[in-house]
Amino acid sequence: MSNMKPSRRQVLGGALLATGLAGRAARGARPVVRIGVLGDQSGPYREIAGPGAVACVRQAVAEFGSRDFDIEILVADHQNKPDVGVGIARQWFDRDGVDMVTDLTNSAVALAVAQVAHAKNKVAVAAATGTTEITGRQCSANALHWSYDVYMLARSTALQVVKSGGRNWYFVAADYVFGRQLQGESAATVAANGGKVLGTSFYPFPGTTEFSSFLLAAQSSGADVIGLANAGADLVNSLKQAHEFGLSRRMHLASLSGFICDVNAVGLEVAQGLNLTASFYWDLNERTRAMTTRVRPTMPNHAPPTMAQAGTYSGTLHYLKTVAAMGLPAARDGAATVERMKATPCDDDAFGSFRLRADGRVLVPAYLFRVKSPAESQGPWDYYTKLATTPADEAAPPLGRGCVLVKE
């Protein structure tokens, strides 16, 4: 080494390294809480949660504001493959220091990731998950279930439609666990409240695109209400075909699992008169409107949040408040954090004041809506009229159901 003068590259490299280290040190001084948003960014559930859920989580973090810890958000697409979801979740927990995972669209992914969260003692907030298993036989001390489940959707719709006079039902149901569960739950509710189930058509899933024979069977049965126990593309197709047959003029259509993005997809002309249930609608009250106004600029296509997306907002906010209340070293214990979250009453603009139950289920009321006609609608996304409210403890599935957290 005769020439001791450092080269330009060395100086630059050193400078970069130094700034990098300085940045690390500065960040190292403040502890970091990491939130992972694991959802479907590219598949069939993209509209229900997807990028909108990420925007809602960011909104929650922004509203929570600055405390004595930093917050990082990680995003990943599980591609609706449970092994990909589990792989990412394990890597997040083991290597990237993630403390809480939310979104969790797709039941199989949600149940599997909740299991990983339990094994690693982290927190899982399922906000876009239909299955009731997550608060039933497969419940754990590390998982919470926000927004909705199939029980709530089926029960609230069936109960309120029967109460309002739609007594004779015919079900068109997708023949797989989800469809059968929706149909079973609503049929039981109809029967228990003085209604009658005149018949049910189970159609093969997936792959059915032609619903006319089932819809005509429903029409000739003499029922007042057709219950559609399906979701997504199937729901859209069956609604369109029911509209073509003019069924919506003669009978009530009730979707047992419909989202506002489905209504937006088919349009008001086709969807008008449809009955469906949600626990969140952007135009429900002053607070939901305020929350929607804040989050809409960052939402994809500036759409208002669905109930699943609102759930990720609400779940993240409650989690962060709890972490702040517990203090950071203590809040690294996932089970303790979940325990504290259950013990603390929740309050936010999306769902108002509510609380969490021992099995991890959120207790929020379910609202039955009727889709407006194009003439009634005042503007974009003005889609729903509220018909009835099912109180929170009636809308949630019964406590217990094999959950070990519930003392019999």
Check if the beta carbon of residue 230 is closer than 8 Å to that of residue 172. yes
Under rule CB under 8 A, residue 42 binds another protein: yes
Count of residues touching another protein (by CB under 8 A): 36
CB of 335 to another protein, least distance (A): 17
Cα 124–chain centre separation: 13
Q: Mark 117-156 with x for binding to another protein (rule: CB under 8 A) and - for no binding.
A: --------------x-x----x------------------
Using the 8-state DSSP alphabet, how is residue 147 labeled? S
| Position 264 contacts another protein (CB under 8 A) | no
> What is the H or E stretch that residue 225 is in?
strand 225-229
> Which token pair is 94?
């083991």
Q: Exposed (0-12), middle (13-18) or buried (19+): which is 334, by Cβ within 10 Å?
A: buried
CB nearer another protein, residue 90 or residue 401? 90
Is 161 a binding residue for another protein by CB under 8 A? The answer is no
Tokens of 273: 């008169």
3-state DSSP call for residue 14? helix
Q: How far is the CB of 41 from another protein (least distance, A)?
A: 3
Q: Which stretch binds another protein (CB under 8 A): 5-13, 90-98, 372-380, 391-399?
A: 90-98
Which position among 80, 193, 221, 237 is part of the footprint of another protein (CB under 8 A)?
80
Q: Which of 95, 249, 250, 407 binds another protein (CB under 8 A)?
A: 95
Q: Which residue type, as a one-letter code, is found at position 159? A: L
Stretch touching another protein by CB under 8 A, among 63-71, 87-95, 329-337, 338-346? 87-95
Q: Which two tokens stand for residue 230?
A: 């399906």
Q: In this complex, which beta carbon is closest to another protein, that of residue 180 or of residue 240?
A: 180
Q: How close are the terminal C-alpha atoms of the chain, in Å?
A: 78
Can you tell me the distance from the alpha carbon of 19 to that of 91, in angstroms, rounded to the nearest whole number? 28
| 388 lies in the binding site for another protein (CB under 8 A) | no
Which of 44, 67, 108, 333 forms a contact with another protein (CB under 8 A)? 108
Residue selected from 49, 76, 98, 261 as contacting another protein according to rule CB under 8 A: 76
Nearest to 215 by CA among 227, 206, 205, 207: 227
What are the counts of helices (DSSP H) followed by strands (DSSP E) for the chain? 16, 15
Q: Residue 208: left (phi > 0), alpha (psi -120 to 50), or beta? A: beta
Binding another protein by CB under 8 A: which of 33, 35, 46, 162?
Answer: 46
Residue with smaller CB distance to another protein, 40 or 349: 40
Q: How far is the CB of 79 from another protein (least distance, A)?
A: 6
Q: 177 vs 188, which CB is nearer to another protein?
A: 177
Residue with tokens 């929607």: 292
φ, ψ at 42 (rounded to 5°) = -135, 0
Does residue 93 interact with another protein by CB under 8 A? no
Q: Least CB distance from residue 211 to another protein, whole Å?
A: 19
Stretch that binds another protein, among 108-116, 163-171, 316-324, 382-390 (CB under 8 A): 108-116
Q: Residue 288 is encoded by which pair of tokens?
A: 């939901």
Residue 272, φ and ψ in degrees, nearest 5? -55, 140
111 is a site residue for another protein (CB under 8 A) = yes
Q: Cα 228 from chain centroid?
A: 20
Q: For binding to another protein (CB under 8 A), which residues are involved?
A: 41-42, 46, 50-51, 74-84, 86-88, 90-91, 94-95, 107-108, 111-112, 115, 131, 133, 138, 175-178, 205
